[in-house]
Structure 1
Amino acid sequence: MSRLTALRSRFVDAPDSLGAKARARRWQWLARIFPDVGDMTVIDLGGTASAWLRSPIRPARVHIVNLSTPPTDLPPWLSVENGDACDLRSATHGRYDLVFSNAVIEHVGGHVRREKFAEAVYDLAERHWVQTPYRYFPVEPHYVFPGLQFLPMAVRAATVRRWPLVHTRPTDRASAVRSVAEIELLSKTEMRHYFPDSEIHYEWMAGLVKALIAIRR
């Protein structure tokens, strides 16, 4: 493992990384906010089966909607559907006890799509937990690059082609542009707009807001 790969692992990927510790705290926080989560039916918009299989929380049932190909050999309490979280038919899904989404709304593609995502959240359950990285935290979390989100598109694309801490480095300019264009970090004002009937909570790191969470209990 190179020093730079080891550095990314230390920040993001390793089981004892800063990112892993933040995720563990987030699970604990979710359990405090929803102490009956173990008895709930949960729909996860944009999540992964692996995240729930590693989670210390075990709801009664979790249904995941994701654009990826669904995995096989899942336990009975966990199911995955290939689908678009911004274009769900709530009548076909029914109602759940809780909508959960972690770091997805910034990827759905533009303001109109984010509004549709938020509408789905409200349609599917009375309660929800929707987390997203905060735009004005000084380090862009996907690329672990300081201030990347504030640079012009061309500079961002050129940067991620060379930056050694990128998880999967784009192979050409077109894929680099597509990679950075698919991420639109949100501000507090935007989160309040999309979730007007929710509480907006903050995740902190080093005295700074790192992420925003829309919570409806």
Structure 2
Amino acid sequence: MSGIRALRNRFVDAPDSLGERFRAARWERFRSCFPAISKMRVVDLGGTADNWLRSPLRPRHVHLVNLEAHPAELPDWISAEIADVTDPNVPDALGQFDLVVSNSTIEHVGGPSQRRRFVTAIEKLAPLHWVQTPYRYFPVEPHFLAPGFQFLPLAAQVRLVRHWPLTHSRPANAEEAMDAVVNIELLTRAEMRHLFPRSVILGERVAGLTKSLTAVRTRP
């Protein structure tokens, strides 16, 4: 493993990384918000089987909805499908659940109209939700681990992402780099409050700074 890759692994990917410690703390906060999680049917928008298999929690059932392919083999308490919940026909076809979970997905669905469709789907699918997203004003952009990246002009982002050593998967060309940066729109606290007016907006803090925001509804 190269020195740069080892550095990213230390911060984000490894089992003993800072990122894994943040995820463990987030699961504990999640458990405190939904103590009856073991009895709940959960739909996870944008989630992965690996995330739940590594989780210390096990709901009654988890249904994964993602645009990417899922593993062929899943345990009997996890099901999955490829679908886009911003398509108005999809939420009705999915049915009803006890809880919607979505981690680091709403910032990828598109502009304001697509985010509104995403929230509409969440409201249809379950009376309770946990919707987490990185905070726009945290000084380090979380996808690329680049300080201040989200505040740069678009052209500068495209140039930087092709050479920045801590990028998870470095784009092969300018077109891939553009796709990588325009498909991420980090949200502010005001935007989350606007999208989820009946939810509590929790802040996850690191060194006194807000790192991520979570819209939580624990009661119908």
TM-score strictly above 0.5: yes
Identity %: 54
How far apart in 2 are the matches of 1:90 and 1:11? Answer: 36
**Residue 74 of structure 2 corresponds to which residue in structure 1?**
74
How far apart in 1 are the matches of 2:85 and 2:16? Answer: 31
Aligned-pair CA distance for 1:85: 2.3
How far apart in 2 are the matches of 1:179 and 1:130? Answer: 22
How far apart in 2 are the matches of 1:138 and 1:70? Answer: 33
Unpaired runs of 5+ residues, structure 1, are: none
Q: Which range is displaced more, 131-140 or 69-78?
A: 69-78
Aligned-pair CA distance for 1:47: 0.4
Aligned-pair CA distance for 1:70: 2.5
How far apart in 2 are the matches of 1:24 and 1:181? Answer: 29
**1:153 and 2:145 equivalent?**
no
Contact 2:110 2:183 in 1 (8 A): yes
How far apart in 2 are the matches of 1:70 and 1:79? Answer: 9
Contact 2:85 2:91 in 1 (8 A): no
Aligned-pair CA distance for 1:130: 0.2
Contact 1:46 1:85 in 2 (8 A): no
**Residue 84 of structure 1 corresponds to which residue in structure 2?**
84
**Residue 121 of structure 1 corresponds to which residue in structure 2?**
122
**1:40 and 2:43 equivalent?**
no
Instruction: Give the partner amino acid of 2:171.
Output: P
How far apart in 1 are the matches of 2:134 and 2:112? Answer: 16
Aligned-pair CA distance for 1:167: 0.6
Contact 2:99 2:127 in 1 (8 A): yes
How far apart in 1 are the matches of 2:80 and 2:124? Answer: 19
How far apart in 1 are the matches of 2:18 and 2:217? Answer: 27
**Residue 185 of structure 1 corresponds to which residue in structure 2?**
186
How far apart in 2 are the matches of 1:90 and 1:191? Answer: 21
Length-normalised TM-score, structure 1:
0.98
How far apart in 1 are the matches of 2:99 and 2:78? Answer: 15
**Residue 30 of structure 2 corresponds to which residue in structure 1?**
30
1:111-132 Cα offsets, whole Å, 9 max, x none, are: 1000000111111111000000
CA RMSD, aligned part only?
0.8
Length-normalised TM-score, structure 2:
0.97
Contact 1:160 1:169 in 2 (8 A): yes
Instruction: Give the partner amino acid of 1:96.
Output: F
1:103-154 Cα offsets, whole Å, 9 max, x none, are: 0000001110000001111111110000000000000000000000000011
1:192-214 Cα offsets, whole Å, 9 max, x none, are: 11111100000000100000000
How far apart in 2 are the matches of 1:8 and 1:134? Answer: 20
What SS is found at the alignment partner of 2:117? Answer: helix
What SS is found at the alignment partner of 1:89? Answer: helix
**1:5 and 2:11 equivalent?**
no
Instruction: Give the partner amino acid of 1:79.
Output: S
1:76-114 Cα offsets, whole Å, 9 max, x none, are: 110011000212533322211100000000000111000
What SS is found at the alignment partner of 1:171? Answer: coil
How far apart in 2 are the matches of 1:82 and 1:92? Answer: 13
